[in-house]
Amino acid sequence: MKKNRKFDTLCVHAGEGPDPQHGAHATPIYQTSTFVFKDAEQAAARFAGKEEGYIYMRVAPHTPTHAAFVDKIAALEGAETGLPFASGMAAITAVALAQLRKGDHLISSDVVYGSTYSLFAKILTKFGVEVSFVNLSDLEQVKACLRPNTKMIFAETPANPTLTVCDIAELAKMAREIGALSVVDNTFATPYFQRALPLGTDVVVHSSTKYIGGHGDLLGGVVVCSADFVKRMKPIVHTTGGTMAPLEAWLCIRGLKTLHLRMERHASNAMAVAQFLEAHPRIEWVRYPLLPSHPQHAIARKQMSGFGGMISFGVQGGLEAGRKLMNRVELCSLAVSLGTVDTLIQHPASMTHATVPREVRQKIGITDEMVRISVGVEDVADIIADLEQALAW
């Protein structure tokens, strides 16, 4: 694929071509656990890492289907290469295990997905990793938290579910100056609206379950980065076995082909919904990066070309009012996850972030009245009409 191809073209064509053996137009699903070697010498060379090629599905590069997915997402993110995983959490875990050891210090966004919080706060700390959760949108707080043993800065931006945005280039610069690894979870924005690697970030992770797949029918994750960091992750992947299945890799390829089209519709719908909510008397506050009321609106406009389909808002009346809203919707589905073509609505404090202690949730803004909505690609008038009737009590 020529380097000067535009993003939309890369979505459709990057990493793919006609099957060289049979000429199949669509990338095949290589549903196999193992591969046959032509002779003992080739087998030995591949296991020794002296020859590139396929060995066994748990061992990267897994299968040609996985390779096509990685090539496509790497092209979209501007990365050298990457690795696919069974889930977004498997991807984040592999990055952490490849980079951190006993005595190292990790700085993380104070607002992260609930399972990411649990991994950092409850699992890594058991093995001697020091973890600081910091408001990464406040660079002075980050500077004050840096230590000689800080080895990784992990930023979820926009953050789940508060939509907090942090300055990717400045965080990457801080990490680089002390020899730490900078990591960005780009799940909410996708490479269509935000590319962290050209801003200086070392590693980008995605839950490909979300916008990459786009249809709520797969579980997966992916890391894109340098070839050198992939080499560091491979022993982790081969040993722990968090490998994406071939069907999921194929579904990710299919999803990426329409990423540019879906994200445009998600974003335009979300802006209209955010404006509706901001004007509604029952809504106390709305967080969407394109709204001028967003605390990091200027940073978002600087480093993002668009703002996706995620909105969080507070319903007047607290937890009970939020429950009332979610029980009254008809078009919107009450479900966790996000990035699907249909609109999903959920309550972070009792669902996706229930593993985060309440005192921590309150401190970082995941309040009881917060509702999170993943705006789909339906006709936006129908989405707004559903929310309007659900709020009419």
330 within 8 A of 387, measured Cβ to Cβ? no
Name the catalytic one among 46, 54, 110, 113. 113
Burial of 333 (0-12, 13-18, 19+ CB in 10 A): middle
Q: Is 147 a catalytic residue?
A: no
Cβ-in-10-Å burial (0-12, 13-18, 19+) of 155 comes to buried
Residue 220, C-beta contacts closer than 8 angstroms, at least 6 positions apart: 84, 85, 86, 87, 88, 207, 208, 209, 212, 213, 244, 248, 249, 251, 252
Catalytic-residue membership of 185: yes
Catalytic residue among 185, 202, 368, 386: 185
Buried residues in 225-243 as b, exposed as e (16+ CB within 10 A): beeebbebbbebbeeeebb
The DSSP H or E segment spanning 203 is strand 203-207
Residue of 72, 151, 195, 210 marked active site:
210
d(CA 167, CA 187): 16
Residue among 107, 233, 79 nearest 181 (CA): 107
DSSP of 216-254, one letter per residue?
S----EEEEE-HHHHHHHHHHHHHH--PPPHHHHHHHHH
Q: Tell me whether residue 58 is one of the annotated catalytic residues.
A: yes
CA pair distance 161, 260, nearest whole angstrom: 23
- Catalytic, 113? Answer yes
Question: Among the options 5, 58, 301, 324, which is catalytic?
Answer: 58
Identify which of 341, 340, 336 has the alpha carbon closest to the alpha carbon of residue 372. 336
Give the active site residues: 58, 113, 185, 210
